Every structure is written in structure tokens, then in C-alpha cells.
Amino acid sequence: MIDPTFSHTSIFNREFRLFGEELMLHIFQKRVILFGVGGVGSWCAESLVRSGIEHLTIVDPDTVNVTNINRQLLATTKTIGRPKVEVLKERLLEINPHARIHALQEIYQKSNCDSFQLESYDYIIDAIDSLENKAHLLLQAAETQARVFSSMGAALKLDPIKIQTAEFWKVKGCPLARALREKFKKMQIRPKKKIVCVFSDEVLPNKGEVFAGDSSPAAFHKVAYNGSIAHATALFGFMMAGLVMQDIHNEFVHNH
């Protein structure tokens, strides 16, 4: 049961002062779906809910692993083994009990893409690791009326100043973006509209050995594990959430 003291005006008091009541009511109505709630997506989800997004679907097939603790918002020694989306949903509802958080412990892929009803969302956020599934999601998302934002590779990054945004085809120095472009060219297809991406052109060497606690990357539909750190992955997530909020603000100002 929702505590009546947790009203919209109390939780989002500072944001009402920033945006005003009319825009805040607009924010509350926006529908967002986020694919991937790991090192990037978990921080993105938290920022969105703390900013007033109340209709949020989170999608991720994984459970919390001990190796997630260094960088994923939802990962602690107490949540190991639990579904990531379940843990994150509990946290998000503690932040805003009014929110409607739809948690799907599923993997996005070609065989089930229609079940996510992408056309029903205002914003589609991609924080998927798998190259194959990421490429398919971007192509499908670009078919909808939704605004689409995508995270490129956040691993092997350290310098926060180098994290930036660009339209997908203008991203430079990112191996993941390059691999996606090569895949689209090979398929002789490309997303039908512009997709703004968060990326960094910094690529540090992967120095670590395989840790005994690692599962096979193939089990999680990933090519390999790369070193990563919390502030870098979190900044990627915060920037994607910021792109959503900025877009809502700009749309509102344009229409009023």
C-alpha cells in the first residue's frame, strides 16, 4: 500500500521547481522501455525514475553475479543470484511507490521481438551487450515513432571527459559502433532514422585474467568480458537518461 505522504509534489519538489507543474505532469505520462540493466542500464533506470518517469519497462535476462558488484547499481553481496530486473524493480518502487515498473526477465532477440510492443513506447533505450540482438533492436526501434537512444561500449573506459554523444553514423573511435556499422553494411540495411548514442573514443587494454567466478560469456550472449569501472558505466547511463529528459523538455517547449 502506498504511503499517502509520498505524494508527487513531495518526491519531486525540486523538479517541480525546475520544470513547473505542466511539464512535470507531461513527464509522468511518458512511456519508456529500457533493454539491459547492467553497468549502464541500471544507472539509467534509477536516474529516469528519480526524474519522474513513472511508466518504465525494464528488460534483462541475467541474474546478479559477484563480478557485477563493482559497477552495477543493483548488485550487492545480498542480491547475488537474484534476477536483475526483480532487484531493480524493488529499488525503483522504494524511490517512487507511484511508479509502474514492468520487469521482464527476458532476452531481446529476433524470435520474440514482437512481444515487447515497441510501438507503444515514447522512448526506447538500448543498453544491450550482444551485437546480434543490439543490431536487431536498433533496426526495429527505428521503425517506430519512439525516440531511440543507444549506449555504445562502456567497458575499457576511465576518462569521464571523453564520454560524449553523437548520431550513430558519426560515432568515432568506438569498436562496438564500428562492428555495428559493419554488420548493417553487410546486411545492406540501416536504421530508418537517426539514433543518438553515448560513446567514448577511449580504448584501454584489457589486462585482466579470466576470474574464477566468471561464467561463460556465451551463456549471456556476449562475445567476451572486458574490464570496466563504476563511474564510467554510470556516466553512460546517466547521459542516456539525460538525453531522454532533455528531449521531453525540448518537445514540451517546442509545442508550447
pLDDT digits (tens, 9 = 90+) for 113-145: 999 999 999 999 999 999 999 999 999 999 999
- Structural domains in the chain (count): 1
Give the residue with greater pLDDT, 45 vs 10. 45
Whole-number Å distance between alpha carbons of 200 and 170: 12
pLDDT at 209: 60
- Tell me what the mean pLDDT of segment 137-160 comes to: 97
Alpha-carbon span 110 to 173, nearest angstrom: 28
| In-domain check, residue 247 | yes
In a domain, 217, yes or no: no
Residue 226's pLDDT band (cuts 50, 70, 90) = confident
The domain that holds 142 is classified in CATH as 3.40.50.720
177 in any annotated domain? yes
Give a yes or no: residue 11 inside a domain.
no
Q: Distance between CA atoms of 31 and 147, rounded to whole angstroms?
A: 11
Residue 2 inside a domain? The answer is no
Cell of 15: 523538479
CA distances from 210 to 67, 71, 220 (A): 11, 17, 16
Residue 5 lies in a domain: no
**pLDDT grade for 217, boundaries at 50, 70 and 90:** very low
Give the structural domain span for 149. Answer: 17-206+222-253
**In a domain? residue 74:** yes
Indicate whether 91 belongs to any domain: yes
Mean pLDDT score, 147-171: 97
- Strand blocks (E) in 20-96: 31-35, 55-59
